[in-house]
Amino acid sequence: MELKRVVVTGLGAVTPIGNTVSEYWNGLIEGKSGGAPITHFDTTHFKTKFACEVKDLDLAAFFDRKEGRKQDLFSKYAVIVADEAIADAGISIDNMNPDRVGVIWGSGIGGIITFQEEIEGFVANDRVPRFNPFFIPKMIADIASGNISIKHGFRGPNFSTISACASSSNALIDAFNYIRLGKADAIVTGGSEAAINEAGIGGFNALQALSKRNDSPDKASRPFDKDRDGFVMGEGGGAIVIESLESALNRGATIYAEIAGGGMSADAHHITAPHPEGLGAINVMKNALNDFGDVTINDIDYINVHGTSTPLGDLAETKAIKTVFGDQAYKLNISSTKSMTGHLLGAAGAIESIATILAVKNDIIPPTINHFTDDPDLDPNLNFTFNKAQKREVKAALSNTFGFGGHNASVVFKKFEE
């Protein structure tokens, strides 16, 4: 069978550096840091006292009190960004067959805030079970896709993917496959996360995964810097409306970019550490580039890397890029937008795909900020786009996301041409 072409027609974002797509993109190009002291809870006894929180978002403007009590924060972020992307794409049950519009969402953790609150209440109440009737629907990670479809009446494929930090990239790849196989006309995809609470920060602290640079939180996320000491937790969400080219052209939709491939792989190595030679990362980039076959390593101009700012992760990904791209690696722009947003865990792939799509659309590479000292173990001849955005033609680009458990996902975006 002939596979359908798939294009991007709508975007939505709530991030630590902007609460709409335009604010987010401007923040990226300006090199804005989202790092700041945590305001969500008292950090007195925590090793890490900062994160990249969403700022100045009035949830009451989106949810009345009754509805707000039914959703965890991660689901609220999902609904907000989906609304923006759906409006941007101009899709609705009035101009689309609702049975052929789906929602496929990713979250690595789901309602951890709700889970903690309910358990705290149980213990404080002498372990008498008086749980909120919405406890389970608020907590489960799949509920975001359900809430989006209920609000908009979309009755197509509906589920959520969970693969740690690769979750929303996996959701996007699944959505891409459903459309190109003709099983849906359009899908709202992406991811959201809200894990900046005591359990989230404490748990990652116990893993020694987070930066402890409490004296300079805005400079703590420093991918590929010699003195990187762990990632910075972020929160928020990103939504992407994708649809068949036929559907987009019939509607006269604005097309941001075309999806040219998606790859998945496993490290099969360790529950939290990457393969030291980047074997899974090598395989996933090759799989993504070989998916359609019409984009080669010579067509890629930019890679939005996983780039978490951990000592092992950044090194392994750099090795993988050099292995896959060879001499072409030195002609690429590479950047980690986590240097600005922090790490949104299961939502990372969504907001980083948006950054990659807009880089392709606008021919601008977002920077890797907070670079102060070269790492002698990394290749200084690679262009990590340190500290300042760069203008260049971007014909095609790759977005990488890797998750605990060895889950890897890569997506290829290219300029749309009829």
Q: CB–CB of 24/18 below 8 Å?
A: yes
- Give the tokens for residue 418: 């009829």
- Burial label for 64, CB within 10 Å (0-12, 13-18, 19+), is exposed
Active site includes 343?
A: yes
CA of 330: how far to CAs of 126, 322, 323, 390, in Å? 62, 8, 12, 15
- Give the tokens for residue 211: 């930066």
Alpha helices in 290-331 (DSSP H): 311-325
Please tell me which residue in 165, 275, 371, 407 is annotated as part of the active site. Answer: 165
Local structure of residue 245 (DSSP, 8 states)? H
Those residues whose C-beta lies under 8 Å from the C-beta of residue 282, and which sit 6 or more positions away, are 320, 323, 324
Active site includes 45?
A: no
Q: CB–CB of 242/248 below 8 Å?
A: no
Please tell me which residue in 275, 343, 371, 407 is annotated as part of the active site. Answer: 343
Q: What is the largest CA-CA distance in the chain?
A: 65
Q: CB–CB of 103/179 below 8 Å?
A: no
How big is the CA angle at 296 (ends 295 and 299), to the nearest 5 degrees?
Answer: 80
Neighbouring C-alpha atoms within 13 Å toward the C-beta of 385:
28
Active site includes 275?
A: no
CA torsion angle 248 249 251 256 (round to 10) = 50
Q: Would you name the residues annotated as active-site residues?
A: 165, 306, 343
